[in-house]
Amino acid sequence: MASCTIADVKAIIDTDLSDSEITTLISEADQEITDRFLTARSTLTKQYICKYLVAEQIAMKNPIPEKTAGDSQSTHAPEYYRTMAEKRIMQKVPDQVMPAATFPWE
């Protein structure tokens, strides 16, 4: 099961990519979550990480569109989305979710 949905992604970044393209990016983000041993994190945390990893990929594919007054969404540079994901990845989590010994920086 995917860590986030197309709607989760579209809530944080404006894109013209098709739903199938976004689904592919979600699969890639889920693979990164697995590869980085983040699967024991809470569902909410994985959702947050996933949507920001996908938004990073979308921002790299699409130039940042110009916004007009009244637009509710803002689109940032790809680095912004990666930074947001990495901040959540580096947050400490309760031992019952992931033992502290699994964090090499502690």
3-state DSSP call for residue 40? coil
* CB atoms inside a 10 Å sphere around CB 96: 7
**Confidence (pTM):** 0.74
pLDDT for 89: 86
pLDDT for 3: 94
3-state DSSP call for residue 57? helix
pLDDT for 76: 76
d(CA 100, CA 79): 28
Nearest Cα neighbor of 89 from 56, 42, 55, 54 is 42
Question: Looking at residues 9-17, what average pLDDT do you find?
Answer: 90
pLDDT for 8: 95
Question: Looking at residues 37-45, what average pLDDT do you find?
Answer: 90
Please report, rounded to a whole number, the percentage of residues in the chain having pLDDT higher than 70: 74
Q: Radius of gyration (Cα) for the chain, nearest Å? A: 15
Tokens of 30: 């889920």
